[in-house]
Amino acid sequence: MSDVTERIALVTGASQGIGRACAVELARRGRTVALAARNLERLGEVCREIEHAGGKARAFPLDVSSEESIKACVRSVLAQFGRIEILVNNAGITRDGLAMRMKRADWEDVLSTNLTGAFLLTQAAMPSLLKTRWGRVINITSVVGEMGQAGQANYAASKAGLIGLTKSIARELASRSITVNAVAPGYIETAMTAVLNDEQKAAMSAHIPLGRPGTDVEIAHAVAFLASEEAGYITGHTLDVNGGMYMG
């Protein structure tokens, strides 16, 4: 599918993994991409990768756990590009541990980054989206938010919350031709899953009907579709990209 309409996209957590793949794919499809994350050095590498392929990108510092950082990032993107039409809320963290022993700080850090950060970014981008009267908001949730996971109560709660947030904001913005959807990856080969040992990886793959983990590029393709003109009649939806691991 070719989509060369020039739109301005803001992708959070774009320095690596799924965020990087989403930024690269959106740029390949003609979007101008604002890359946002804490690691400016890595963002610079992604920018150069996109520009080398003929795309347009610029890096912006962002800490999604900080409301001031979120507001400053959005102001900078608007100052540079004039508008935000596509927002990909991808940035997230994990602080795993059994619920009985989970520290409150680990609970709050994950909720603040993964859920509150996505809400505040969407809120900050809304004036631009409403003014343009066209937009795509795509939240990266997780299969864990749909089916739960022992040792990840905080992460699962944050990702389940993103699904509820997606549906609610979708209803609020629909009258302005702005769609809000979520993509729920399953077991994807990223830096976040690289910490798993071979036994854990094999156990997870055994529960996937397609028999393998997914790739960040496969998630990026789903995001790019939801960000496209062709997806204009899809909103409030969670697109599962999990190889059949969860069939809700």
| Tokens describing residue 105 | 């700080």
Instruction: Verify whether residue 246 is a known catalytic residue.
Output: no
Provide the edge-to-edge strand list for the sheet that holds 86-89. Answer: 56-61, 32-37, 8-12, 86-89, 135-140, 178-185, 238-241
Residue type, 115: L
Residue 42, number of CB atoms within 10 A of its CB: 16
Task: With both helix axes pointing from N to C terminus, report the angle between 117-132 and 153-173 in degrees, rounded to the nearest 10.
Answer: 20
Residue 206, number of CB atoms within 10 A of its CB: 8
Measure the CA–CA gap between 92 and 17, rounded to whole angstroms. Answer: 11
Residue type, 30: G
| Tokens describing residue 154 | 């905080």
Burial 170-202 (b: 16+ CB within 10 A, else e): beebeeeebbbbbbbbbbbebeebeeeeeeeee
By DSSP bridging, strand 178-185 and strand 135-140 are parallel
From 155, 187, 233, 246, active-site residue: 155
Measure the CA–CA gap between 195 and 213, rounded to whole angstroms. Answer: 14
Catalytic residue list:
155
